[in-house]
Structures are given as C-alpha cells and as structure tokens.
Amino acid sequence: MFESVRKALGGVVDALKRKGLLSQGDIDSGLAEVRIGLLGADVDYRVVKTIIARTREACLDEKILKSMSPGEQVVKVLYEQLTEILGGQGGKGIAITHIPFRVMLVGLQGSGKTTTLGKLAVLLKKEGHYPLLIPGDFGRPAAFQQLQKLAADAGVEFYADPADDLTSLVKGADQYARSKSLDVQLLDTQGRHDFDVELMDELRMVRAAYKPDETLVVLDSMIGSKAIPLSRSFDEVAPLSGAIFTKFDSPAQGGAVLSFKEVIGKPVRYIGVGEHIGDLDYFVPERHAARIVGYGDIEGLLKRYDDAEAQARAVKVAKRVQSGKFDLYDLRDQLVELAQVGGINKMLESLPANMVPKGAVVDESIARRFTAIIDSMTDGERRSPAILSASRKRRVARGAGVDVSDINRMLKQFDMFGRMAKMANNRHGSGFGLSGF
C-alpha cells in the first residue's frame, strides 16, 4: 500500500532535504512533483489540490530555522499536512460511548464485511468489551455459518436465533445482548455486486430497525478510486460514520484512503492487513503520513524542529537583553516556556556550572506564581519593573494572591536572569543556549 505514492514522493523528499537553501521556485517545483505523485496514485484531484495549497501556504508561514535545512522543513510541513488530510493525530478506532452500542458494516459483496466483523470483535474484546455478532446477511446461505465460525474463533457471542426478517433479527439480537450484558452489537449486512435499488431499500430498512451508532463502510483497497463515489452512494442512504479499508496487504495504490476523510468528511477507522482474524489495525494517520513521505526518522526530525524553534526563541531573548530591552514580558514568556520545554533551566544548563548561582533553577510551581504576579501588573510595571514602589507591590500582591516577599523574589530572579543572559551572551557571541542544543 502507498508504494507508488511513496516512490513518487521519495525522490522529491530526498532532493528537497539535501538542499541547503530553497527558493520559492524550488518549493513550487518540488510540490509540482508531489502533485504528480499523488495524482498518479489515484488520490482525488480536489484532495491533491488541498494538500499542495496547504503545504505551500504552511511553507510560507514557516519560520526559517538556522539549524534545519529548508528542505527538511518542507518535508516536515508535508508530513503534517498529510497527517491532517488523513484525519489528524490519533487513531484509536471507534469509541464505545454508551451501552448498548450498535455497529453496522456496509459494503459491496466481497469487500470483506463478514471477515472484518470477526476481526473487529477480536479488537473490541481486547479493549475489554463484550461484543455480539449478528448475522444480518440473508442473501448468502453460507454467510450465517461464516460468521458463526468467526464468533467461535474470536471467542465472542453469536446471535444464532433464526429470524426470517431483518427487523425481528435486530430486535431479537438487542434483547439478547441486554439479557447477557453484552455492550457492543456488531451487525453483518448483505452486499451486492453493485450499489443498486434493492441494496438501497434493504439498507434503509435495516437502519431504521437497528438504529446504529456507527455505520462503517467496508472498502476493498483494490477497487482504487471507485471507493469514493461508492462511499458517497452508501452515505446518502445510510449516513456513514467512517470507513474500514481491507486488503491493505495488497499492492493497491492507496489513493482512496488518502481521499476518504477529506471528501466524505468521516475518518478511516481501521485497516484490514491480512486474512487472519487478528489482522485488523487501527488506522493511525501520522503513521501513514510518515510512511508516505518515506522519511525514515520523522520523530527525530520533529524533535530537531522543536529544539531548533526553542533555540530561535532563546536567541531572540538574548538579543533583547543585549539591547537593554529585556523586561518582565520576556521573563513571562520564558516562564511559560519553562512549563513546556524547560526554558530557563535549559538556558542555565548552557552556562558553565560555576557561573550558575545557587537557587537559580526555577521549579514549576514557582514559575506559576511568578507568572501570576506578572499578570497582575500594569503594562508600565512590566516594561520598567523599577517603578514598583512598596504600595504598587502591595497592590500586585493582592491581585496575584501572593506575599510582597514573593514579588521581591521574582524581581531578584528577573535581575539574575538578565545578568546571566548577558554573561552567556558574551560568552557565546551569537546568543545563549546555543551550545546547549
């Protein structure tokens, strides 16, 4: 899966990431190749347009970070945009939000509905649920036995009561599930070779009787771009809540998977990766995005990006110190960052040990108190802390719910921080923090 997209993008990604400097022209021609690669993999043209436009826009918005090559930054942006297009961060399958919870699978014959229902039962059981498999495919006599066997293999309950119409089947199954305290009902349905009137009528009827919480369309990855119009037809009759792509282990293009979320507006939830009952995976957008850009160490890349960003901020602060503009707004920024990436402590680490005054390391609760103090000040006080008279300090202390002594400690820290930043700045020339990264 995704082989051809990956191949097409791989070349562009490699070329981009080696480049030291990127012009707008480089980005555009790189993206033009990404575009061809995606279209060649049968990704919906509107989706391709969106990916390219968003990636270009995000590239323009990116800060230029010294320690990363611009090409790597483009790769990072492309990875983020693909993750977004595939459904965003996460990928935990369906959430069973209440009891009883009813799931229904729809799809063409042979797409993998029955097999997938068994696999889903296994996965849900692993999550701690008690599924009931319901044989709702009356079209094929063998479908009943197929699901019954899958239930036995999965070690879950099977609704074996022979009902002769779908409405009494789902009603009976619901009563059975309640009586046995089974929390998830999984309904198999009939598929046909084509989406036709009869299938439509049956779906409408089952839906009305069953009242599903999740209606997932099961799509064979091999049918390629046809999956999208097909899903739309299903969606019109039985509004979909998501999709499952089967046969992900096949050499299919994968374009439809990339298009589904953007075009249908619902997430891909699972992928079938083989014929065995354990072969169902959660669909994890960021994992697939990483595979598509083919960048081996995307996590390393993202980490370096975060570090480079923190470094760029540190340099900015250093410049303000140098020009005498460092004020309590800057300290506040540093304190907020402290909570995220260890800003002040990181800066302190970049100093030789003997230069770090005792008690200079700020812990998080103190950082929070200092932030509250700064928030209670006026703009003038933040810019020129020297004007803080005793009466002003009392007012600020009341506002922040702290003692005046806390304010004095914060101001001392502010002085110390400024002095240290200046020292580190002189030592490293271009800014503090650099040697620490």
Which stretches of the chain bind Mg ion, using CB under 5 A? 113-114, 143
Nearest to 413, CA basis, from 319, 350, 354, 347 = 347
Q: How many other C-beta atoms are found inside a 10 Å radius of the C-beta of residue 305?
A: 18
- Smallest gap from residue 270 Cβ to ligand GDP (A): 10
Q: Which is nearer to ligand GDP, 110 or 436 (CB)?
A: 110
Give the Cα-Cα-Cα angle 376, 378, 381 (nearest 5 degrees). Answer: 105
- For Mg ion, which residue has the nearest CB? 114
104: tokens are: 């229904």
Amino acid at 47: V
Say how far apart CA 4 and CA 34 lie, in whole Å. Answer: 12
83 binds, among ligand GDP, Mg ion, none (CB under 5 to 8 A by kind): none
Q: How many other C-beta atoms are found inside a 10 Å radius of the C-beta of residue 131?
A: 28
Q: Which is nearer to Mg ion, 190 or 413 (CB)?
A: 190
Number of chain residues interacting with ligand GDP (CB under 6 A): 18
Q: Which is nearer to ligand GDP, 142 or 353 (CB)?
A: 142
Residue 372 and residue 365 in contact, taking contact as beta carbons nearer than 8 Å: no
40 binds, among Mg ion, ligand GDP, none (CB under 5 to 8 A by kind): none
Largest CA distance in the chain: 88
45: tokens are: 């043209």
Question: Is residue 98 classed as helix, strand or coil in its secondary structure?
Answer: coil
Instruction: Tell which positions 276-295 bind ligand GDP, by CB under 6 A.
Output: 279
Q: Strands of 157-158's sheet, edge to edge?
A: 157-158, 131-134, 184-187, 101-106, 214-220, 242-246, 268-272, 280-282
- For ligand GDP, which residue has the nearest CB? 272
- Smallest gap from residue 236 Cβ to ligand GDP (A): 20
- Would you give the binding string for ligand GDP spanning residues 170-209, x where CB under 6 A is met? ---------------------x------------------
How are beta strands 157-158 and 131-134 bridged, if at all? parallel
Exposure string (b/e) for 183-196, b if CB count within 10 Å is 16 or more? bbbbbbbbbeeebe
- Smallest gap from residue 57 Cβ to Mg ion (A): 44
Nearest to 74, CA basis, from 142, 153, 19 = 19
Instruction: Tell which positions 219-278 bind ligand GDP, by CB under 6 A.
Output: 246-247, 249, 272-275
- Smallest gap from residue 111 Cβ to ligand GDP (A): 4
- Smallest gap from residue 165 Cβ to ligand GDP (A): 20
Instruction: Tell which positions 77-136 bind ligand GDP, by CB under 6 A.
Output: 107, 109-116
Q: Which is nearer to ligand GDP, 33 or 249 (CB)?
A: 249
Q: Which is nearer to ligand GDP, 245 or 295 (CB)?
A: 245
Binding-site ranges for ligand GDP (CB under 6 A)? 107, 109-116, 191, 246-247, 249, 272-275, 279
